[in-house]
Structure 1
Amino acid sequence: MQFRAGSRAPAVGNIEYKRGTDAGVINQGLFYLAWLMDHRAEFEHLVRDRLGVTAASQVLWSGPRLICIAGDFTRYDVHAVREHRRSIDLVRYRLFGDDLLGLETVASVSGGMPVARRAGRQAVAWAAADVEGAAMAELAGAVDEVLLGLGDGVNRVDHKTYRAYQRLRNFACLCPPQRSKLLVYLKVDPKGVDLVPGFTRDVSGLGHHGTGDLEVQLRTVRDVERAQELFRASYAAA
């Protein structure tokens, strides 16, 4: 049971956890959620015993949610939850050392419909007041449209220093507009690309925002068109 954001009323939900990559985490989670929905009286009785009559009377049954946590998920898992009628979150975890745990939402579906990602408190700054900056912001909008249109299931996540585009993993990272160009980092092996000075650059081993070893520099809409084959290659590899 969870408390819905902005409310003290508990919302019904189930959390299922597996250590590795295991499709069973979804199946078992759905089984337990169905069991919970079929045993409302017993659940409300337990809430009444633990939290009191008032809390039991405020239980929300209208939007049950399943949260599946695992070491990783496949693209087939992501597709499966998008076809399901339940509200489901797939969350991937990573361990850093002995005492640090990182969580990343791989897919979020509400009643069978993908949920739009919300930008964090520190969203990337894309707007610009001057003419050149406005042109770059408009170019960033064109790149955004192309990357989101590469296929179903692309998620966009705003970080403080870059904007990530994901399938199962990041396949493109778009940095905030510079004065005369945009930088996009792709999950493409630079060794398999004919690098063009001023357009593509091998940044493997170099520090930069976002993820990806191939840097693409965009200055015009024509550059965006030139880069589409690279965008598609990175999307296919994600």
Structure 2
Amino acid sequence: MSGLKLFRADTTNSAMTEVMPRLAEIETEVQGLVEAYMETLLGVRFLASEYSTGAVHGGRIDSLGLDENGSPVIIEYKRGTDAGVINQGLFYLAWLMDHRAEFEHLVRDRLGVTVASQVLWSGPRLICIAGDFTRYDVHAVREHRRSIDLVRYRLFGSDLLGLETVASVSGGAQVARRARCQPPVARAAADIQGTAMVELAGAVDEVLLGLGDGVKCVERKTYRAYQRLRNFACLCPPRRTKLLVYLKVDPKDVDLVPGFTRDVSGLGHHGTGDLEVQLRTPRDVERAQDLFRSSYAAA
């Protein structure tokens, strides 16, 4: 995985042994692992495996899921390098957009009526997991107007799975995405606190989008999600004098500061993440940057 080397330390014999990476013997080995732990690995709730697209369309979608923001997700797997995986996935994605009622029925059966009523059709996703991708694959996904993630896998030994995001695009340029992301929170801030809150929301947006090339922005009514492969931050509209950001950082690993950081695990809130960060001033945004980076790295 891009030159990554993994070693196992044997403290008893003061030895260090390299764990050699390998590809799966068969494609379904990877598919089985991902489907069994899909929410942990990808932030996607599993819906179906080998889903038939019907006699007319004549295909089978490897895995179907729903991500943290309610976006439909198609996942396609290849054992090694396969130039057809992206086109195959896009073929199924087109089918999915034409069969929204069928997908929502599946969600209703698996996850309930409430979840089915909140499916976000503005941003369906395709995740391709393969042994490797070519530079042509990376270029190709950047030309499509769809949300596509290319993920390279490796197996290490008998019990380790490595996933590396090779490319992650939302179907538009970074500038265009940033322009779309800003107005909802900016408008809400203007209604509540005026220019200061507009500027604070813009500063947070700038920092989160600037953490990496593959950051995507997903708008929901009650929050804006910043996503790599999974959500790493959710920004809520201002509450009078502050902004709330929820991060995928374990609160137990943070020295909580009253009025700045709070453990919300087990508490109801908008967005995803167990660490709440309260931002009132540009100084708070600076203080939070290490937390932002930690959450981004974990996604």
Structure 1 stretches lacking a partner, 5+ long: 1-8
Residues 163 and 31 from structure 1, CA distance in 2 versus in 1: closer, same or farther, beyond 3 angstroms? closer
Deviation of residue 157 (structure 1)? 1.3
Q: Is the 8 A contact 2:165 2:229 kept in 1?
A: no
Question: Could you report, residue by residue, the CA deviation over 1:188-210 in whole angstroms, capped at 9, with x for unpaired residues?
Answer: 00000000000000000000000
Match of 2:113 in 1: 53
Partners of 2:254 and 2:283 in 1: CA distance? 19
Task: Kindly tell me the number of residue pairs found equivalent between the two proteins.
Answer: 224
Partners of 1:104 and 1:21 in 2: CA distance? 15
Between 20-29 and 43-52, report the one with greater CA deviation: 43-52
Instruction: Determine helix, strand or coil for the equivalent of 1:118.
Output: helix
Match of 1:180 in 2: 241
Deviation of residue 93 (structure 1)? 19
Deviation of residue 178 (structure 1)? 1.4
Q: Is the 8 A contact 1:109 1:115 kept in 2?
A: no
Residues 199 and 84 from structure 1, CA distance in 2 versus in 1: closer, same or farther, beyond 3 angstroms? same
Q: Is the 8 A contact 1:73 1:92 kept in 2?
A: yes
Residues 140 and 39 from structure 1, CA distance in 2 versus in 1: closer, same or farther, beyond 3 angstroms? closer
Residues 225 and 18 from structure 1, CA distance in 2 versus in 1: closer, same or farther, beyond 3 angstroms? same
Q: Is the 8 A contact 2:169 2:214 kept in 1?
A: no
Which has the larger Rg?
1
Structure 2 residue 219 is the aligned partner of structure 1 residue 158: yes
Percent of aligned pairs with the same amino acid: 90
Question: Could you report, residue by residue, the CA deviation over 1:138-161 in whole angstroms, capped at 9, with x for unpaired residues?
Answer: 101100000000111101111100
Aligned pairs (5 A) from 1:136-215? 136-215=197-276
Q: Which of 79, 87, 110 is matched with 2:147 structurally? A: 87
Instruction: Determine helix, strand or coil for the equivalent of 2:295.
Output: helix
Residues 205 and 107 from structure 1, CA distance in 2 versus in 1: closer, same or farther, beyond 3 angstroms? farther
Deviation of residue 81 (structure 1)? 3.5
Q: Which of 87, 92, 117 is matched with 1:32 structurally? A: 92
Instruction: Determine helix, strand or coil for the equivalent of 1:62.
Output: coil
Question: Could you report, residue by residue, the CA deviation over 1:105-134 in whole angstroms, capped at 9, with x for unpaired residues?
Answer: 998759996795599xxxx57344468333
Question: Could you report, residue by residue, the CA deviation over 1:43-83 in whole angstroms, capped at 9, with x for unpaired residues?
Answer: 99999999999999999999999997999999999898449
Q: Is the 8 A contact 1:74 1:168 kept in 2?
A: no
Instruction: Determine helix, strand or coil for the equivalent of 1:116.
Output: helix
Residues 182 and 20 from structure 1, CA distance in 2 versus in 1: closer, same or farther, beyond 3 angstroms? farther
Structure 2 stretches lacking a partner, 5+ long: 1-70, 180-184
Q: Is the 8 A contact 2:189 2:237 kept in 1?
A: no
Q: Is the 8 A contact 2:170 2:216 kept in 1?
A: no
Q: Is the 8 A contact 1:199 1:218 kept in 2?
A: yes
Q: CA RMSD in A?
A: 11.5
